[in-house]
Amino acid sequence: MDIDHFGAPGRSGLDRAYREHLAREGVRAEDLTREADRNRLLRITYRGQFLPAPLFLSATERAALAKDLGTVHRLLTELPERSFDGDPGALAEALGVTAPQARLARRAASGPPSTRLARADLFRAAEGFRLLELNISSALGGANNALLNRALLGHPALARFAADHGLGYVDTVQHLVATVRAECGPPHERPVVALADWPTRFAAYELWLHVFASLLDEAGIEAVPCHVGELVEHSGRLEVHGRPVDAVLRMFLIEQVRTPQDEALLEPLLRTVESGAVRLISRLDAELYGNKGALALLSDDRHLDVLDAAERACLDRLLPWTRFLRPRVRLPDGSTGDVEAYARAEQRDLVLKPVLSHSGIGVVPGWTVPPAEWLDRIRRAVGGPYVLQRRVAPVPDVFPTADGGERAFHVNWGVFVTDPSVTGSDGYGGCYLRASTDPQVGVIKEAAGGWVGCVFHQEASPGGDAADRP
């Protein structure tokens, strides 16, 4: 099978060139991931489902993507000032979050701004990259992607190709470490950072947290896996397991705070953050801006008056049509229509998403359910914290197979977005791939049979940043 889409806008031709390079060298597909298969940390994290080849970004494509994602991040974090009279709590209420979450958002927003840290989930469609979500948080999967880059470079075929084409990769952990150091300030040579998850999730994710802690430790940060209930206030400092901490890397999400009891659990952390005794990496209001409903606000042309021409052009390039699920909505042609009638007519091209969720929980791709179930889901969600989004069809990418052929995958690009002033880059913070062979896939998860991969980018110049070169 030969599926060739490398004439699509933005494609550099590197993907095809690499496949041709492998064919010339007679490389066996099963040998390409042998170093990844041997790596204990990668096996723990990704369960051995490795794509046999990376994908590639040209220098132009990387720069354009970094610029556009930086613009979207800025627009989302400016929503309170642009559309809600400077009140993040009002934004929270408009998004339909719970009262405890809205209170936390108002309280958190009074503190100093967080350093930019996010991950965009994108499909590469025929017309270019399209943004599905921008997760603004420190609880981001895939940050250990450079382990896979380094493992794949263990095969000489990729090492030669990377050297010949001036390819490098970004180690997202290093960008994360730079972010933590910027938050903690210069006196902290080796800051102690709590990797804090929510108590009900901790047992399931503890092993992964220890893997992540080991990577941070190698990079100069002493990381302590824990859950929020283990954070205690002592003499004005925040401690975990009896050790004072300089910062908390928040691995839990605001959606997990649902009751007054949950709020109370956070009090030691909140008090010490507000006193300045500890830094919280990614403020608790961050997920409001990375919320699917916030993207719907940017997508809705009724908000165009708060955007300039360049910002509108950026959103036109990246955002699919996305709307809050209300009885009547602004349709793609600019008219206003009945949402149920539109959802019925366009079922196979729509996705229903909860406003505040993660890992695809509660997402219903219209093309995966019978019409009766789809309409029932729509009717029950109308007026609630849900959005409808126009389906984005990814152009399949092809990878070599063990029998010498090729196999098509549908790929989600997880592109990390970091602060250029902190990382010394253009804001592109690395990328990891999740892929499925199912052409009708709605949500790609490595935990549900998905495959994972990595990305190499072409350096902007032959003398590019040596830290990012393989």
What pLDDT digit, counting tens, does each position of 220-243 carry? 999 999 999 999 999 999 999 999
pTM, to two decimals: 0.90
User: Per-residue pLDDT averaged across 403-418, rounded?
Assistant: 90
* Contact (Cβ atoms closer than 8 angstroms) between residue 149 and residue 174: no
DSSP 44-110: HHHTT-B-SS-EEE-HHHHHHHHHHHHHHHHHHHTHHHHHSTT-HHHHHHHHT--HHHHHHHHHHHT
Q: What is the pLDDT of residue 44?
A: 81
pLDDT tens for residues 334-386? Answer: 899 999 999 999 999 999 998 876 656 788 999 999 999 999 999 999 999 89
Return the minimum-mean-pLDDT range out of 82-91, 308-317, 415-424.
82-91
Determine the pLDDT at residue 445: 58
- CA angle 88–281–429, rounded 5-degree value: 100
Structure confidence by residue, pLDDT tens digits, 20-30: 899 899 888 88
Q: Given this model, what pLDDT does residue 1 score?
A: 27
d(CA 436, CA 394): 11
The average pLDDT across 13-17 equals 89
Let me know how many helices (H) and strands (E) the chain has, helices first.
Answer: 19, 21
CA 408 to chain centre: 23
Res 410 pLDDT > 80: yes
Helices 199-218 and 172-184: crossing angle in degrees, nearest 10, is 100
Instruction: Report the top-level CATH class of 321-390.
Output: alpha beta
Residues of the chain within CATH 3.30.1490 domain(s) are 321-390
| Alpha helix stretches (DSSP H) within 110-242 | 146-152, 156-165, 172-184, 199-218
- Long-range contact list for 347-350, CB < 8 A, 24+ apart? 347/371, 347/374, 348/391, 349/390, 349/391, 350/388, 350/389, 350/390, 350/391
Compute the average pLDDT of residues 172-187: 89
d(CA 72, CA 314): 8
- 171-281 folds as Rossmann fold (3.40.50)
Which residues 6+ apart lie within 8 Å of 51 measured at CB? 33, 399, 409, 433, 435, 451, 452, 453
| Proportion of the chain in helix, strand, coil states, percent, rounded to 5 | 45, 25, 35
Please list the residue range(s) of the chain that carry CATH number 3.40.50. Answer: 171-281
Residue 438 has pLDDT above 90, yes or no: no
What percent of the chain has a predicted confidence (pLDDT) above 90?
A: 58
Q: Quick one: pLDDT at residue 470? A: 38
